Amino acid sequence: MDITQEQWWQEAQQDSNAVILDVRTEDEWNQGIIPGAINIDIYKGQGFIYQVDELDKSKTYYIYCRSGGRSGQACNLMQQMGFAKTYNLVGGIMEWNGPVEMPEEK
Residue 100: how many other CB atoms lie within 10 Å: 13
Please return the burial class of 39, using the count of CB atoms within 10 Å of its CB with bins 0-12, 13-18 and 19+.
Answer: middle
Give the H/E segment covering residue 19: strand 18-22
* Catalytic residue numbers, as ranges: 65
